[in-house]
């Protein structure tokens, strides 16, 4: 006899309750027809309430796609409640490949990753997600996946605390000169707010080379060479959140 199924479950979570795969598939098909559960994707199901609403969240679903999948980039900012906008695309970090899919008006898209540094599992929420610090670094690394520079800056305005040790850790894990440049340049604008130390910025600058990079030159009209960060970058980064360009 099948016991009560979890609100969100994969085949591997409950298969031991069935005699074989065929019995599992038949039972799931019956439950879907009766409106008790919904199939999210291959081998992933959720119970639904009396109104037909899945008893789960998009963040839980992203964390259940495989044993390693996690919420990342702008979607992580959404999870932490610091995003200015809510998108219908959820970015899922995963080394393992899976086909992008849509469910309940949300598009789940895989972002291939190489490193699981600062990916945490929040047991009470059933969610695997990057730390807020990694989310910020990831969004600076890929502005598009961060929702664009305006969205990122608005998130930084909302974030109250960033741990510089975590920031330094994820920067070391990625070990990219351009990322040290971009993170240093952007977070220097928020040095006092986050109480980031001189040591943090000195460490970022110690990784730089003489090669000049371009940053956001297509987004801003007022660009100049920033000798501190070896960047062609906006003269007034925060102008985008002050209503000007």
Q: What are the domain boundaries of the chain?
A: 8-47, 58-241
Give pLDDT tens digits for 15-68: 988 889 899 999 989 999 988 999 999 889 999 998 889 999 999 999 999 999
| Measured distance CA(28)–CA(36) in Å, rounded | 10
> How many Å apart are CA 149 and CA 237, to the nearest integer?
9
Residue 91 DSSP one-character state: E
Give the Cβ contact number of residue 4 at 10 Å: 6
The predicted-structure confidence for 96-110, as pLDDT tens digits, reads as follows: 999 999 999 999 999
Of the candidates 99, 85, 82, the one whose C-alpha atom is nearest the C-alpha of residue 41 is: 99
pTM for this prediction: 0.92
User: How many whole angstroms separate alpha carbon 92 and alpha carbon 111?
Assistant: 6
Of the pLDDT bands very low, low, confident and very high (cuts 50, 70, 90), residue 196 is: very high
Distance CA(151)–CA(167), nearest Å, equals: 20
> Residue 239's pLDDT is what?
81
Residues 152 and 139 sit within 8 Å (Cβ to Cβ): yes
First to last CA, the chain: 65
Structure confidence at residue 245 as a pLDDT band (50, 70, 90): very low
Q: How confident is the model at residue 244 (pLDDT cuts 50, 70, 90)?
A: very low
Q: What's the mean pLDDT when you consider all of the chain?
A: 92
Helix, strand, or coil (residue 63): helix
For the stretch 121-133, pLDDT in tens is 999 999 999 999 9
- Angle of the 132-141 helix axis to the 164-174 helix axis, nearest 10: 50
Question: Has residue 1 got a pLDDT over 70?
Answer: no
**Average pLDDT of span 136-164:** 96
Task: Say which residue the tokens 């990831």 belong to.
Answer: 138
The predicted pLDDT at position 4 comes to 77
% of the chain at pLDDT higher than 90:
77
Give the contacts of 32 (CB within 8 A, at least 6 positions apart).
38, 39, 45
What's the rounded Cα separation, in Å, for the pair 130 and 138? 9
**8 pLDDT more than 70:** yes
């Amino acid at each position: 006899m099948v016991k009560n199924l979890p609100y969100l479950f994969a085949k591997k979570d409950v298969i031991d309750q069935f005699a074989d795969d065929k019995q599992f598939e038949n039972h799931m098909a019956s439950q879907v027809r009766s409106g008790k559960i919904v199939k999210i994707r291959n081998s992933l199901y959720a119970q639904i309430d009396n109104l037909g609403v899945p008893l789960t969240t998009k963040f839980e679903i992203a964390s259940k796609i495989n044993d390693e999948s996690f919420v990342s980039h702008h979607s992580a900012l959404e999870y932490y409640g610091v995003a200015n906008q809510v998108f219908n695309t959820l970015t899922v970090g995963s080394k393992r490949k899976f086909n992008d899919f849509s469910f309940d008006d949300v598009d789940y898209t895989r972002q291939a990753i190489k490193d699981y540094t600062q990916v945490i599992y929040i047991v009470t929420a059933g969610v695997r997600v990057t730390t807020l610090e990694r989310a910020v670094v990831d969004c600076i690394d890929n502005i598009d996946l961060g929702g664009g520079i305006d969205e990122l800056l608005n998130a930084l305005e909302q974030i109250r605390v960033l741990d510089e040790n975590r920031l330094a850790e994820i920067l070391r894990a990625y070990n990219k000169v351009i990322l040290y440049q971009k993170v240093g340049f952007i977070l220097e604008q928020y040095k006092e707010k986050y109480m980031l130390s001189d040591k943090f910025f000195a460490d970022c600058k110690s990784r730089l080379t003489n090669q000049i990079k371009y940053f956001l030159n297509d987004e801003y009209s007022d660009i100049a060479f920033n000798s501190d960060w070896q960047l062609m970058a906006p003269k007034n980064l925060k102008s985008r959140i002050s209503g000007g360009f």
